[in-house]
A and B are shown apart, each in its own frame.
Chain A
Amino acid sequence: MYEIVVHKIDIKSHMREKTERFLASFGLAMDGDVEYTIIARIGDRIIGTCSFAGKVIKCFAVAKEYQNIGISERLLTEITNVMFDRGIQDSFIFTRPENKVLFEGFGFKEIYATDSIALLESGSRDIKGYIARMFKNSGLDGGEKAALVVNCNPFTLGHRYLIQKASENNIQVVVFVVEEDLSLFPFPVRMNLIKEGLKDLENVTVLPGGEYIISSGTFPTYFLREDEEKDKAYQSLDAGIFGKYIAPVFNIKKRYLGTETYSKTTDEYNQAMIDILPNYGVETVLVERIEVDSKIVSASTVRQLIREDRWSEIRVMVPDSTYNYLLSDEAIPVIENIKKSNSRH
């Protein structure tokens, strides 16, 4: 009998192209952020493949005539072993809703599904327990709340304005800060500047966003754009997870959103919130951005001004706490990075 072998491929070699062709026959593409790829083959013929990026298992396919003979099992075992050796014990899978059952057989559990995509997590993870712990650790009570999700890269007067609006019109406000450390300003710095900049607003609580709010596990395209259809699917997933799991536990009744002029991703993301959150009893409130000297205040504008060393313009866009940080020694490496990069984040 022919022998099926499973092994790693060098994603920079010609094997990548072969694997991409194989994936294309399923209407799948090799995502740009893939770190590690394995294939199953007989002779020179690829009959299955699987990859991962961060905590996410993706780009998984097995040729139709070789399904149900244990190839998925070998691919998944191999990829999770490699992930494990790299310290990733829990994983996520994005897949088409029709493949959900296959992965459920491997102990994965559905978190959320849209018409075009389903997000599952491995059996060792538990979104409900995680969110319950997040709430317990926050020390918040069960009263009704308004919420915002912010990255604040870095914290500007625009963020301050938006959060102040929420603070004035609601009894309690929770600010979730994107925890994933893929932004130019590191998470602890962003967190500190937000807390400093909101110190006087007593009904506002600032919390780390954790693993289910705009994390690369649940929302990879926030950090790395793919095609439009994929972006849209991921945005709906993130909105859905917020509505289904986070809002009920924290008793969130409103979500505040800033209008977005410069970032298409954020603009579409807002639309996903507006479409989906009302289904979970969460009202969305869209707040116009503020302008200073007819320029819209945004973190991306501030980063651009940093690149151009236009400090007097930065001064009027950020609160004292952010400005003092930018002038401090601690900020030197961050500013150097900003000047080197053209990243959206």
Chain B
Amino acid sequence: MKINKVARAGTMESSDIFIMVQPGDNQGLDIRLSSVVIDQYGNHIRNVIMETLKSMNIEDIELTANDRGALDYTIRSRVETAVKRAL
């Protein structure tokens, strides 16, 4: 499945994650993550985002994530919301 516009979800407040998605240019899942806990949880957050995208059958996307210490369910719901807004 492909998204066709730019959309975002989330805030920059503590314990949240800000997600912005836009159609990719056939580069697959292109994720740009910044996080206050990137050293500790960077890979984990990236995996949660990847899995959420895959579960929605998204194959081509450019996703910018700015994490402020969000828990997994927050990450999942923010990613899902952003993608649905971009469909």
- Report if A and B associate in a common complex: yes
Residues of A in contact with B (beta carbons under 8 Å apart) = 70, 73-74, 76-77, 80-81, 84, 89, 104-107, 109, 122-124, 126
How many whole Å from A96's CB to the nearest CB in chain B? 20
Tally A-B pairs: CB < 8 A.
43
User: Are B13 and A74 interface neighbours, CB within 8 A?
Assistant: yes
Q: Which residues of A contact B8 (CB under 8 A)?
A: 81, 84
Option from A73, A89, A109, A124 in Cβ contact (under 8 Å) with B12: A73
11 additional contacts (CB under 8 A) given A89-B20, A122-B64, A124-B62: A70-B13, A74-B11, A77-B12, A77-B13, A84-B8, A89-B22, A106-B66, A107-B66, A123-B34, A123-B64, A124-B22
Q: Considering residues A89, A106, A124, which has the most beta carbons from chain B within 10 angstroms of its beta carbon? A: A124
Could you say which interface size class chain B belongs to?
10 to 19
A9 to B5, CA, bound (A): 30
Chain B residues in 8 Å Cβ range of A70: 13-14
Quick one: which of B21-68 are within 8 Å of A by CB? 22, 32, 34, 36, 62, 64-66, 68
Chain A residues near B68 (CB, 8 Å)?
A: 73, 105
Residues in B with CB closer than 8 Å to A106 are 12, 66
Which of these, A73, A104, A123, contacts B14 with CB under 8 Å? A73
- By the criterion CB–CB under 8 Å, are B36 and A124 in contact? no
For B22, the closest partner residue in chain A by CB is A89
Q: Known contacts A123-B64, A124-B20; decide if A77 and B11 are in contact (CB<8 Å).
A: yes
Say whether B32 contacts A76, CB under 8 Å: no
A106-B66, A123-B34, A124-B20 given; A89·B6 CB < 8 A: yes
Could you tell me if A76 and B64 are in contact, using CB atoms closer than 8 angstroms? no
The 4 A-B pairs of least Cβ separation, nearest first, read: A107-B66, A107-B34, A124-B64, A77-B11
Distance A133 CA – B76 CA, assembled complex (angstroms): 32
Chain B: residues with CB nearer than 8 A to chain A? 6, 8, 11-14, 18, 20, 22, 32, 34, 36, 62, 64-66, 68
In the docked arrangement, what's the CA distance between A89 and B23, Å? 13
Q: B3: shortest Cβ distance to chain A, in Å?
A: 14
**Can you list 21 residue pairs at the A/B interface with Cβ under 8 Å?**
A73-B12, A73-B13, A73-B14, A74-B13, A77-B12, A77-B13, A84-B8, A89-B6, A89-B22, A105-B36, A105-B68, A107-B12, A107-B66, A123-B32, A123-B34, A123-B64, A123-B65, A123-B66, A124-B22, A124-B32, A126-B32
Chain B positions within 8 Å of A73 at CB level? 11-14, 68
Q: Could you tell me if B12 and A76 are in contact, using CB atoms closer than 8 angstroms?
A: yes
A residues less than 8 Å from B36 (CB atoms)? 105
| Residue numbers in A under 8 Å from B11 (CB-CB) | 73-74, 77
How many Å lie between the Cα of A81 and that of B36 in the bound state? 21
Kindly name the residue among A74, A77, A104 whose own CB sees the greatest number of chain B CB atoms within 10 A: A77
With contacts A84-B8, A123-B34 taken as known, whether A107 is within 8 angstroms of B14 at the C-beta atoms is no
> How far is A124 from B7 in the complex, measured between Cα atoms in Å?
12
Residue of A nearest to B62 (CB): A124
Q: How far is the CA of A84 from the CA of B85 in the complex (A)?
A: 13
Closest residue of chain A to B67 (Cβ to Cβ) is A107
Q: Which of A80, A107, A109 gathers the greatest number of chain B CB atoms within 10 Å?
A: A107
| A312 to B11 alpha-carbon distance, docked (Å) | 60
